[in-house]
Structure 1
Amino acid sequence: MARSVIGLYISGFFCIFLSFFTGVAGCWKRSYGNVVATGLLELFTSLLVAAAMGLWHGVHHYDYQKLKDHMAYFGWPEVLKQPGGSDFYYGWSYLLSWIGVGLNLIAAILLLCGAHCLRHEKKKEKTKYMHYLMPVYPEKRQLYGYGYGYPGPYYQYGYGY
């Protein structure tokens, strides 16, 4: 279980490294897909790192409460078990790690919200100029005699239709 903690941290660092490049590409091209991929990678990273932290807590609990062999806490000499002999503290890096997991989750949520806004903005821009779009190539049969600049039916001009 302790080795799995390290594996989860390494895979979390890989995902955050990968999300950096998809985030740069998404912001550079203003691509909805890249920004969504960045948000999902950030969400997956926070899940991996939170799982690593939870597994670390599980290893600590299992080592201090459940194991009864000679290398676990219950097998230590009584001198080491006394208060002050070996104390266990959560330090500043532990708190920073949980703060980082929370901020990573907030970043993932904000990226997904930003992707939604980007998609809404592109859709609004596309519909804004929709009435200016005209067909470039005329159809074979056009209504009201607008084909090729002649006002009426073509047979009256001697084309033999």
Structure 2
Amino acid sequence: MAASRSTCGTVMLVAGTCFTILTLIFVAISFATDYWISYTVKRDNLSNLVKNAEATNGRYTFSRNRGLFRECYPNASDAFLSAQSADVSDGECFKVDLDIPDATADSLTNHYISRIHLLRSCIAFIAVGLFLILVTFIVGLIPLSCSRRSKWAFTAGFLAFLVAFFVAGGMAFFHGAEYLEKRKITDSIDGDKIMFYQSWADDIKINTDSDYDWSYALGWVGVGCAIITAIFYVIAGFYVGDERYEDREYLDKSSSRGRGQDYAMGNGYDNRAFPPQMMDRPYPGAYPYPGQGYPVPPPPMAYPQGPYVQDLDNGRQLQPMPYWSWS
């Protein structure tokens, strides 16, 4: 039974470690890639007035995909990218501006400033979640390799729950920022290059589709893996704790039974070390012990009747003599 619990505890710890690695991979990829939201603009359906007026100016008139740090335009025209070459990185991407310009701070609405704070909080929460994943991995290795104690498994499970909380909190902040972009913000940034949904022309609103992409999905997969990791570690903590409880219970029983009872039950000595003729002989003392399976010493030898005289000069014992007295 103890071996079975030990095996189950080890399996749970290994599973928790594997899911910790998966959580780290999914959350890190989600955090670093640029496919949280994809915008598909059907430019063929736009009016010529919109195309000509905003083809080299408004970014929102082109299909794009956006992450936490960058917004990329893989299908944008060369004229559009050349006109904004000063802000372009990697040939087709623009940095997501998370700074509040001092010169225009008075003209920005509270909704726009709140959006920036929400995006910053999103990045901060996911970054903390990534750090906690590393700590969870290290703590989870301790009961697996160094100190097999339940407190380490429970600590790893608690940290994994914190990972799920922080990453899910970051996703919630992202949703809050997206809600403000679509429903509340009417600001225009850098002329008309960056405009939000409420300020778009009706033609662009109708012909633009937005959807969550695979980077966003990986973030939620990471949250799920973190929860599974926590469950595995908590279960492992119970198994490891039961192992220690069974060991302690065995030791307590052994100490309460005492050494004499162990010997009487044949557990104190290895009986094979004694000759067979000594195994079934009754104990010759006043309080006999069970003879079966218990090593019994031979009866005492019959010594001749004294007195005994020792030759101190020659260092030898003299033969016994009949009892006599000096008187």
| Bin of the TM-score, shorter chain as denominator length | 0.7 to 0.9
Aligned counterparts, 1:61-100, within 5 A: 61-70=179-188, 71-83=195-207, 86-100=208-222
In structure 2, C-alpha distance between the alignment counterparts of 1:91 and 1:20, rounded to whole Å: 28
Q: How far, CA to CA, are the matches of 1:34 and 1:59 in structure 2?
A: 38
More helix by share: 1
Q: Secondary structure at the match of 1:30?
A: coil
Which AA in structure 1 matches 2:177?
V
Max Rg structure: 2
Aligned to 2:157: 39
Aligned residues: 132
- Structure 2 match to 1:5: 122
Gaps of 5+ in 2: 1-117, 189-194, 257-327
Correspondent of 1:114 among 236, 239, 244: 236
Residues 80-99 of structure 1 deviation map (CA, whole Å, 9 limit, x = unaligned): 3232xx43111122222212
**Poorly superposed stretches of 4+, deviation over 3 Å:** 77-80
Q: TM-score, normalised by structure 2?
A: 0.38
CA distance in 1, matches of 2:144, 2:151: 11
Looking at structure 2, the residues matched to 110 and 76 of structure 1 have their Cα atoms a distance apart, in angstroms, of 49
Return the offset for 1:113. 1.6
Matches of 2:203 and 2:120 in 1, distance apart? 29
Aligned-partner residue type, residue 133 of structure 2: I
Secondary structure of 1:67's counterpart equals: coil
Stretch deviating more after TM superposition (44-53 or 54-63): 54-63
1:68-107 per-position Cα deviation (integer Å, ceiling 9, x unaligned): 2233221234443232xx4311112222221221121011
Residue 15 of structure 1 deviates from its aligned partner by 0.4
The Cα of 1:37 is off from its aligned counterpart by 1.1
Letter in 1 for 2:174: W
Which residue is 1:23 aligned to? 140
Distance of 1:16 and 1:116 partners within structure 2: 22
Q: Taking structure 1 as the reference length, what is the TM-score of the superposition?
A: 0.75
**Map of 2:28 onto structure 1:** none
Q: Which has the higher strand share?
A: 2
Q: Distance in 1 between matches of 2:219 and 2:197?
A: 25
Amino acid at match of 2:235: C
Percent identity for Structure 1 against Structure 2: 27
Amino acid across the alignment from 2:232: L
Pairing of 1:124-135 with structure 2 (within 5 A):
124-133=246-255
| Distance in structure 2 (CA, Å) of the matches to 1:36 and 1:47 | 17
Partner secondary structure for residue 209 of structure 2: coil
Q: What code does the residue aligned with 1:90 have?
A: Y
